A = this chain, B = another copy of it.
Amino acid sequence: MPKTNDPSLKSWVPVPADSDFPIQNLPFGIFKSNSGNPRLGVAIGEYILDLSALAKEGMFDQIPFDKNVFSLSTLNSFIALGKHTTNAVRERISELLNINNQEVQGNESLKSKALVKQSDAQMLMPVSVPNYTDFYSSREHATNVGMMFRDPANALLPNWLHLPVGYHGRASSIVVSGTPIHRPKGQTKTDAEAMPSFGPSKSLDFELELAFITGRATALGESITTAQAEDYIFGLVLFNDWSARDLQRWEYVPLGPFLAKNFGSSISPWVVTLEALEPFRAEGPVQEPEVLPYLKYSGKKNYEINLEVAIQTPNGVSKTVSHSNFKYMYWNMCQQLAHHTVNGCNISVGDMYASGTISGPTSDSYGSMLEITWGGKDPVQMPDGTERKFINDNDTVVMKGYAERDGVRVGFGECVGKILPSK
């Protein structure tokens, strides 16, 4: 295990017991405080460590790279340096934050410049996203949707167990946690209606997902094997793939979801590195029938990450409507990336690859309202006496995710999105 994951590590920065950001995590993000331009930071407890401020004082001089990458408004140039460098930076940060290290801890002037309270900062989109792909890799989710949208007797389509089904989504409308989203308008038609009608979506849903971000590019024609894939994955974020079910049902044949999804997707601002998740590796499900050779893999490629979704009503009451786990995924990230590139499709630094809705085996672990309420048939009872079939105007959806082992909690923070009425 890398030394940065050692459960015994402690930081001189106070880290509350329930914090997602102990010294074992060190996720990267882009922040903006009252003073200064957007720049790179690392979350520690309730603070942000300002990497540009540390670099100006020579704290990364032993690692050879252009320190200006810390003063940019996206992580792309930093993560493009490659894991050799980004891991060295993360190890150096771990060293600087260690309770036994005095380089920053003992330098009051630097400490005051380099530590920014998260409550005093605004988090921005961590990466510029050149391409966004959404997979569909939870067997439970695909089965549930297939039962409701298509044929209950043949819910899982014939290809599903042979390849990680995916499609291209809209990169432009991925926004950072906290950005409100207007309820989309669009065409809908039920089987009972003769003609489609137009108006605000009546069944606006979330989808609980995680997304990985690639830190390394390939040229057109190149492929990545399952064994190579982890070297291309920089880290992960929470991903809310907002979905307008009524639009989707009408528009999606034969070429897939379009306006039902591209009005907005929300992500958490901190990119948790694959290295920070190392202690939480888990066995994936047995894949039967056997997959084709290019999809075979060895080792533990799933991750045990607790996930939850809460709905906050406009009057401020909140209810957690799902507890799921990333370990449920049928297809893992290495298989997804190997499949995506097996035809020579080139990938870029900053590309985002969402998992698809992460549903578990029971209804309290389903990752969308479509599944939780079974298409609206079984509404969620809210503590204020209202009920939800889908998401109402002025509701806020809050997703959280964290892994926990040996007393160490490595988390993603929150992915928050409020639905505003249609424009």
Interface size class of A (residues with CB under 8 A): 35 or more
B289 and A168 contacting across the interface, CB-CB below 8 Å:
no
Query: For residue A423, which residues in chain B have a CB less than 8 angstroms away from its CB?
Result: 221-223, 344
A150 CB-CB contact with B under 8 Å: yes
CB distance from A241 to the nearest CB of B (A): 12
Given known A-B contacts A255-B257, A258-B167, A294-B198, A130 and B172 have beta carbons under 8 A apart:
yes
B184 and A343 contacting across the interface, CB-CB below 8 Å:
yes
CB distance from A257 to the nearest CB of B (A): 7
Query: For residue A250, which residues in chain B have a CB less than 8 angstroms away from its CB?
Result: 159
Of chain B, the residue at the smallest CB distance from A197 is: B292
State which residues 100-150 of A face B: CB under 8 Å.
130-131, 134, 136, 146, 149-150
Of chain B, the residue at the smallest CB distance from A194 is: B289
State which residues 221-268 of A face B: CB under 8 Å.
221-223, 244, 247, 250-259, 262-264
* Identical chains bound together, number: 2
The segment from A24-32, A51-59, A345-353 found at the interface with B is A345-353
Query: For residue A251, which residues in chain B have a CB less than 8 angstroms away from its CB?
Result: 159, 163, 165
B172 and A345 contacting across the interface, CB-CB below 8 Å:
yes
A196 and B292 contacting across the interface, CB-CB below 8 Å:
yes
Given known A-B contacts A171-B131, A294-B198, A166 and B258 have beta carbons under 8 A apart:
yes
A383 CB-CB contact with B under 8 Å: no
Selected from B157, B257, B346, the residue in CB contact (under 8 A) with A173 is B346
A163 and B196 CA atoms in complex are apart in Å by 10
A250 and B343 CA atoms in complex are apart in Å by 14
Query: For residue A150, which residues in chain B have a CB less than 8 angstroms away from its CB?
Result: 254
A184 and B69 CA atoms in complex are apart in Å by 36
A90 CB-CB contact with B under 8 Å: no
Selected from B221, B256, B347, the residue in CB contact (under 8 A) with A254 is B256
A192 CB-CB contact with B under 8 Å: no
A168 and B351 CA atoms in complex are apart in Å by 15
A146 and B172 CA atoms in complex are apart in Å by 31
A63 CB-CB contact with B under 8 Å: no
A106 and B289 CA atoms in complex are apart in Å by 75
A339 CB-CB contact with B under 8 Å: yes
A-B contacts besides A162-B195, A182-B344, 10 pairs, CB < 8 Å: A130-B130, A157-B254, A159-B189, A163-B187, A167-B255, A168-B170, A195-B289, A198-B294, A259-B343, A263-B345
Closest 5 CB pairs of A and B: A256-B256, A184-B343, A167-B255, A168-B168, A255-B256
